[in-house]
Amino acid sequence: MLALDNLSKHFGGVRAVDAVDLTFREGEIFGLIGPNGSGKSTTVNLITGLYTPTTGTVMLDGHDLTQMAQHERTAMGVARTFQNIRLFGNLSVAQNLWVAQNGRTQRREHFMSRWFKAGGEHGPEIEDLLRFSRLHTKRDLPASALSFGEMRRLEMARALASNPRIVLLDEPAAGASLEDGQLLAERIRDIRERGVTVLLIEHMMELVMGISDRIAVLNFGRKIAEGTPAEVQANRDVRAAYLGSKHEDEELIHA
């Protein structure tokens, strides 16, 4: 459904992403892994339109997104979470979802007056997302009062609030406990159950190997391997890339 063709992003001499071809199939969980600085977040930023590519195209079901603005891509069905959590800390959990559903481009004051006009009422979709993220008992708390794992769940629910076809999760388990990591795996499977395609960027190897249908590996901006979790784990180039990096997570090597 989503196809990256010859996609590159160069920052001066740094080839953050370098001639990458990737195709994501409808309804799959696709893992994108690689050592620190290998170009994973940059790839997400190219798909969502935060960055303009140096070369290449981003196509969604035959529609060329490459020149589209971020909000246009959101409207086409592309949603994301950020590696560094981005929530409105002063707004409640429910309000954060409401903002996501009603467009992020509005100024805060406009948003607040509309929220109060609506009497703080939110539709069934937000109720559904509150339950989905197991945050229904915390709906009126400010987002800043949530635990780290809860914030990550709210981020994910927020991405779903725009009713996407594909959601790009940039290290959703980063900083979360093992227990949160397990909950996360369930949530990611739930997202797929909803018919939403998932691109998962993750360093927690157990998580990404356990739930991905297919995985691609980046190293210095280039795709060095692609296949099933078993194929990728057995790949010599992948092992070399992880051994050569200072990355802490060496589970891949021992697997």
Ligand X SMILES: Nc1ncnc2c1ncn2[C@@H]1O[C@H](COP(=O)(O)OP(=O)(O)OP(=O)(O)O)[C@@H](O)[C@H]1O
Give the C-alpha separation, 40 to 134, whole Å. Answer: 28
Residue from 221, 201, 217 nearest 7 by CA: 221
Q: Which is nearer to Mg ion, 180 or 202 (CB)?
A: 202
Give the C-alpha separation, 134 to 161, whole Å. Answer: 15
E-strand stretches of the chain: 2-11, 14-24, 29-33, 55-60, 63-64, 78-81, 166-170, 197-201, 214-219, 222-227
Shortest distance in whole angstroms from residue 75 CB to ligand X: 25
> Is there a contact between 126 and 140 (Cβ–Cβ < 8 Å)?
no
Q: Which is nearer to ligand X, 93 or 218 (CB)?
A: 218
With contacts defined by CB under 6 A, how many residues of the chain interact with ligand X? 12
Residue whose Cβ sits closest to Mg ion: 41
> Tokens at residue 17, please?
């992403």
209 contacts which partner out of ligand X, Mg ion, none, CB within 5 to 8 A by kind? none
- 12 contact partners, CB below 8 Å, separation of at least 6: none
Any idea which residue has 């594909």 for tokens? 166
Q: Which positions from 23 through 52 interact with ligand X, judged by CB under 6 A?
A: 34, 36-42
Shortest distance in whole angstroms from residue 93 CB to ligand X: 26
Q: Which is nearer to ligand X, 37 or 142 (CB)?
A: 37
Shortest distance in whole angstroms from residue 149 CB to ligand X: 19
Question: Which string of x and - marks every residue 52-91 that binds ligand X (by CB under 6 A)?
Answer: -------------------------------x--------
Q: What is the identity of the amino acid at 117?
A: K
Binding status of residue 11 toward ligand X by CB under 6 A: yes
Question: Which string of x and - marks every residue 11-50 that binds Mg ion (by CB under 5 A)?
Answer: -----------------------------xx---------
219 contacts which partner out of ligand X, Mg ion, none, CB within 5 to 8 A by kind? none
Number of C-beta neighbours around residue 193 at 10 A = 9
List residues near ligand X by CB under 6 A.
11, 14, 16, 34, 36-42, 83
